[in-house]
Amino acid sequence: MKNIVWFRNDLRVFDNPALSAACESRNEVAAVFIVSESQWKDHCDSVNKIAFWFRCLVELEKELKKLNIPLVVLRSDLYEDIPQKLLEFANMHCFENIFFNIEYPFNERMRDDEVTKVFENENKGVFSFHDQVIHKPGTLKTKAGGDFSVYSPFKRCWFAELDYSMLEEIPVPSPVRKIDFSHANEFDIYNYQESRINQDLWPVGEENIQTMISNFLEKKGSLYKTDRNFPSMKATAMSSPYLNTGVVSSKWCLNQSRYNNYDSLDEGDKGIVHWVSEILWREFYRHIIFNYPRVSKGKPFQMRYENIPWENNPSFISAWKEGRTGIPIVDAGIRQMIETGWMHNRLRMIVAMFLSKNLLVDWKIGEEFFMEHLIDGDIASNNGGWQWSASTGTDAAPYFRIMNPETQSLRFDEQGEYIRKYVKELEQCPTNEIHMPKNPQDFGYVDPIVDLKTSRQKAIDVFGSIKKET
């Protein structure tokens, strides 16, 4: 029996259930990756992210070669064409089964359902696996039998239903029988040059990344809870791009946490426990996007906020996107993302709330802009974070939350180190002014585009009126 293993966001050989199952019989296996440029563009995937994925693919190819598995890169611009593309490939080379790990956004689910249909119609085997989550979406329920919409009770249920046997890792498969076939790659992943950032900032290689995260947990994990919010400190694992590509699995990350915390995930070292919580947030948003597919379609999780009277001032939007709002911490966050393809998580919340609340700009505009630049752009986490910040999503508190960027700046960038790094105009600005300069023009910087106090109150009034109506 000849098998295809279809790689997507699971670019690793260790702890890969689809790959392991495809290799179990030790028969011939071919790996396939499909480049879908038009679809990725529709999803606003950044060139930074795509370039990074291709670099990870090059490393994956090396590891697969050790297993006698060739990597074939196919091209199918739109998801709707993929089922037939895969079937033609399978028939051409007499493959009988296809194996893949499940994705949860709506378009991806529809694509995979169609692949399953066309393969089964040809009497070919289809085998799919949940590798991005510990608990399969749809299996965790509230006491009333519904799906969770708030993180804290989801987390409690997640732990209550956890058996450590669910965290058992799958070893790298043994080499399989060499396959005798040739199929030209349809896309050159080796010379993709369209990234806007220095890709050297983001090393690749499965073992390298495992070492990087292991070292973080061992040396800095205990400090994570206290230090994670300070953007000038190297206090985070920088693991999100690697989880997004699947170079490491969330299961592996959880086990590394256990190894550094006396075999516990929810007790013991407060820093590591908090890092585990961030992994669970990632899983939570996958459950959300599976259980509530409307969030994949540009709809708010809280449907009562579907018709917020967003102002969408074009000059405000441009200023925000260019990092020239006159609010130093906001501009620093945007510029970090444009320069590096990544933004510190505290800053993601600050700049998102500033856009959706102080500027009253539709969160979907910000969601799209982030995806167009982030190297770790993930539809579930990005959508979840944006809706959380805009108060249209899960975990409403109670219906409105807004961070004061100046207060956040004073608290988490007290000396202005982060601001000075990314807002070069303010390198010489005194520390006592850097969070909101009195005369920004003196430094070649811009005036604030809105008054924080006035714009905050306006947003409260807008959201408050909607709450009263509903």
- Give the span between the Cα atoms of 74 and 463, in whole angstroms: 47
- Among residues 371, 387, 403, 384, the alpha carbon closest in space to that of 306 is found at 387
Question: Going by C-beta distance under 8 Å and a sequence separation of 6 or more, which residues neighbour residue 422?
Answer: 323, 331, 332, 333, 335, 336, 339
Helix 328-340 to helix 314-322 angle, to the nearest 10 degrees?
60
- Please identify which of the residues 37, 291, 310, 339 carries the catalytic annotation: 310
Q: What dihedral angle (degrees, nearest 10) is formed by the CA atoms of 24, 30, 35, 36?
A: -70
- Give the span between the Cα atoms of 21 and 18, in whole angstroms: 5
The length of the chain is 470
- Give the span between the Cα atoms of 204 and 215, in whole angstroms: 16
Annotation says 363 is catalytic: yes
Annotation says 345 is catalytic: yes
As given in the structure block, the two tokens for residue 18 are 């689809």
Q: Is the dihedral of CA 45, 51, 56, 62 positive or negative?
A: positive
- Please identify which of the residues 252, 275, 281, 388 carries the catalytic annotation: 281
| Pairing verdict, β 71-75 and 125-129 | unpaired
Annotation says 386 is catalytic: yes
- Please identify which of the residues 278, 368, 414, 433 carries the catalytic annotation: 278
Backbone angles phi, psi at 272, to 5 degrees: -65, -40
- Please identify which of the residues 363, 372, 388, 425 carries the catalytic annotation: 363
CB-based contact 263:357 (threshold 8 Å): no
Question: Going by C-beta distance under 8 Å and a sequence separation of 6 or more, which residues neighbour residue 265?
Answer: 159, 162, 254, 257, 258, 273, 276
Tell me the sheet residues that pair with 99. Answer: 5, 127
- Please identify which of the residues 6, 53, 342, 386 carries the catalytic annotation: 386
- Please identify which of the residues 68, 345, 406, 433 carries the catalytic annotation: 345
- List, by residue number, the catalytic residues: 278, 281, 310, 345, 363, 386
